[in-house]
Chains A and B, each alone.
Chain A
Amino acid sequence: MTSKNETSKRVNPLKRLRGWPLTFLLAGVTGLSIAPFYWLVVSSTRKDTEVFDWPPKLLPGGHLGENLDHLQQKIGLLRVVGNSLLVAGIQTLGALVVALLAGYAFAKFRFRGRTLLFALLFSTLVVPEQVMLVPLFKMMMNFGLLDTYQALILPGLCVPFAIFLMRQSLSSLPDELLDAARVDGAGEFRVLFSVVVPVMRPVLAALSIFLFLGSWNQFVWPLIALRSPEMHTLPVALATLHGNKSNTDYGAILSGTALSTLPMMVLFLVLQRQFISGLLAGATKG
């Protein structure tokens, strides 16, 4: 730890040796970060009576399918996962389009009210999400939309952070590129979809992972807006089953938890570069 700030390129072998304690320390920290996932993998693949064995089991077993079967009987797993995929998919796509259009307007057009509208969209960032829960609930009740997919999807279409990110990335797009297409007679929307979108593909990809993950994991609002178990999304179904103390099939709950977590892990590992760059765009410019 003594020379932690040194970033010089040439490191002699003796110094390399001094790096090992720090490397081991970081390996330990990383181990702590990953250990709960490993425990999840082990527990969700073992018989549910083995989850709390003392000492804990160290290797995965072969009971994942059986656990998922139990979960299908308890919460209708397939339907619930389908709900989650549908809501997250549509919400991601919708929020992406909304953000792309708005970000393009803010980045590439000068118009009356531009600064004001931008400030307005951002003013709600300081308002906690909880403030909107009661009015949204009343609104959905009045529209007869409680316990529907629409109730979950609609409020998540306007994501100020996504608009902000799109504006940032579109600002760096050269105007000449757009003007060239306009001179060729392309209409504004054609310019957007045939010139801008292809160039922005990496940013759109990064943003869609972010939006999808946020939607996949959202909890409070679905918990409030949903009533019937067959409409539940995966987090709501898992929290409900977990909260039901009469259920002691821990293997089933944990297999569902693994199912809600591990695909996202894989997505993250495959696309980690875009993921972290998206995160940092929000952090360093926010």
Chain B
Amino acid sequence: MSAASPPAALTRRSAAPRRSRWRRTAVPYLLLAPALLTFGVFKAYPVIDSLLLSFTTGSGTATHGAGLANYQRLLDDPLFWTALRNTAEILVVQVPLMLGLALLMAVGINSALVRWRTVWRLGVFMPSVTGLVATGVIFAYLLKTDDGAVNWVLNAVGLPSVDWLGQPVWARMAVVLVLTWHYTGYNAVIYLAGLQSIPRELYEAAMVDGAGPIRRFTSITVPALRPVLLFTIVLSTIGTLQLFDEPYVLTGGGPDNATLTVSMYLYQNGFRYFDFGYASAIAYALTLLVTVLGAVQMRLMGERDT
């Protein structure tokens, strides 16, 4: 085919305009077919089915319409509120802590004074490559009260042991610790790329104007990073709202439901009690939360971005 001479190709082109037009119309749809098919069956259909299921009750095949009963039950379910409160507490502590640390890390690594910055960048990114189950297992052992390595280090510097997985508040902090260890470097690498795209002249001009390091940070670095900051804030918030793997492995939701998250409660209802209707209602409550929080954050931070 590639042997066709240019004139022949040109005549072929003008001689078969209809065939080629048909081809040009059909080809994109053919290319999209696998994506649309898998999307339709395994994404779009489940999203709709889940909504419909949330208005039904019963288990297995013996289901019937229930109107808003599942949602009513949700509002009156103390365990759901516990799960929501736990998730919120972990979110409110973890996201600012992690992103603050990530920003400091990125600024540190980006400093001209620092040596071997590629090593640090690589090192802090490594935890995010680890699977969440592996992370959970490792930390479940590191955080053991009596003989875990973390408490050994705490004792070594003169601090008392912490009952990480046995006390409600500490168990939530253990989840925060694991999330922070896992994702901080990932966010730092994203910030670092953002920092490197800020023109150096901006800082030089600010220095000529007598701006100190803190002033330069707040009036140049932070505004320039706003889109990246927004991206990481929204992504971390959404991710933490859906928290499942880490508490599942680390604490199993305990002690006494202190680390039960919304996703874990969904899992329990759907796949331990096979209450599909109620699990779907929890799923849609979660979707509502994710959408509303995401939209609010975009509105608060994105508006001044033009």
Name A's B-contacting residues (CB within 8 A): 1-9, 11, 15-16, 18-19, 22-23, 25-27, 29-30, 32-34, 36-37, 39-40, 43, 51-56, 97-99, 101-102, 104-106, 109, 111, 114, 117, 120-121, 124, 126-139, 154-155, 157-158, 160, 163, 183-186, 188, 190, 192, 213, 216-217, 219-220, 224, 235, 238-239, 242-243, 250, 253-254, 257, 260-261, 264-265, 268-269, 272, 276, 279-280, 283-284, 286
Contact = CB atoms under 8 A, between A and B. Distances in A.
Contacts of A155: 42-43
Contact of A279 (B34, B105, B189, B252): B189
Contact of B108 (A4, A11, A40, A111): A4
Interface majority SS (helix, strand, loop, mixed), chain A: helix
Interface in B32-55: 32, 34-36, 38-39, 41-47, 49-50, 53
B1 interface: yes
B270 A33 contact: no
Interface string B179-190: 001001110011
Contacts of B213: 2-5
Given A135-B47, A139-B41, 14 more contacts: A2-B213, A5-B203, A36-B127, A52-B141, A126-B290, A130-B266, A131-B280, A132-B42, A139-B45, A157-B38, A235-B134, A260-B133, A265-B129, A272-B122
Contact of B114 (A19, A254, A279): A19
A1 B108 contact: yes
B142 interface: yes
B137 A279 contact: no
A115 to B, nearest CB: 13
A94 to B, nearest CB: 9
Contacts of A130: 242, 244, 263, 266-267, 283, 286
B221 interface: yes
A102 B2 CA distance: 26
Closest 5 CB pairs of A and B: A19-B113, A217-B131, A30-B123, A135-B46, A102-B35
Contacts of B89: none
Nearest to A225: B271
A109 B42 contact: no
B88 interface: no
Contacts of B116: 23
A264 B111 contact: no
Nearest to A121: B39
A2 B111 CA distance: 10
B205 interface: no
A119 to B, nearest CB: 12
A36 B47 contact: no
A250 B140 CA distance: 11
Given A40-B138, A279-B186, A283-B228, A99 B35 contact: yes
A138 B276 contact: yes
A127 B48 CA distance: 11
Contact of B6 (A8, A18, A183, A243): A183
